[in-house]
Structure 1
Amino acid sequence: MKSFGDRLRAARIAAGMTQEQLGFALGVTKSSVSAWENDRETPGFRLLPSLRTALGCSLDELIVGPAAASATRDTVREAPELYIGNADEKTLLVRYRSLPPKRRQAVLELIKPAK
């Protein structure tokens, strides 16, 4: 399995960038990019959105690898009920989880599909 540094190097090369160009795009030095690619260091959390933009790739694939990222997408396709699609769904889920068990059961009975 490839390391983060290997995936980063491959993504940088696929984007047609040198270490220096990537560093410039992120506001870091070429030696920082080199350290990441050689797994001596990792980029800070604040750099991840810029890294995604500069390389034009998915952070899932960059951080965990293509197989794991694909598994995440497959889970969403296979179990869409586990995927929160918008703010309203998130609000409902948060409110549901804050209910005591008996009220949760009542809500489930209320929204049960008709037979």
Structure 2
Amino acid sequence: MTQEQLGFELNVTKASVSAWENGREAPGFRLLPKLREVVGVSLDELLCGADSAGALAEPYHAYGAEVRSETEAALLRAFRRLSVKRRQGLLDLIE
């Protein structure tokens, strides 16, 4: 999902999404329920990151794939933080 697509889903600008990804700003509280729905993670994950035990309580689905471990979840979070160009570069490398 591009920054523009996410911005459209949340009714915010692409620049706002970019600021969130780069840690310059955070989404407002009112956006969290819709953001959770769009990206397919729990509010706990959005607010707190991984649970304190270091393992997922149960598998969840994101981008159509079941995430089965905290390692996979951490990789997915890292991937989401990459710029679009770097994501594509990583995908090209994997292929």
Structure 2: which 5+ runs fail to align? 58-95
Q: Whose strand proportion is higher, 1 or 2?
A: 2
Q: Relative contact order, CA 8 A, sep 6+: which one is greater?
A: 1
Does residue 55 of the first structure (1) align with residue 39 of the second (2)?
Answer: yes
Q: Based on CA coordinates, which of the two structures has the bigger radius of gyration?
A: 1
- CA apart distance, 1:70: 6.3
Question: 1:25-64 maps to which residues of 2 (within 5 A)?
Answer: 25-64=9-48
**1:61 touches 1:69 (CA, 8 Å); kept in 2?**
no
TM-score w.r.t. structure 2 length?
0.53
Change (3 A) 1:52 1:69: farther
Does residue 22 of the first structure (1) align with residue 6 of the second (2)?
Answer: yes
What does residue 77 of structure 2 align with? none
Structure 1: which 5+ runs fail to align? 1-16, 74-115
- CA apart distance, 1:68: 3.1
Q: Percent identity?
A: 70
| CA distance in structure 2 between the aligned counterparts of 1:66 and 1:23, rounded to whole angstroms | 24
Counterpart code for 1:18: T
Aligned pair count reads 58
SS at match of 2:23: coil
TM-score w.r.t. structure 1 length?
0.44
Question: Runs of 4 or more off by more than 2 Å in structure 1?
Answer: 67-71
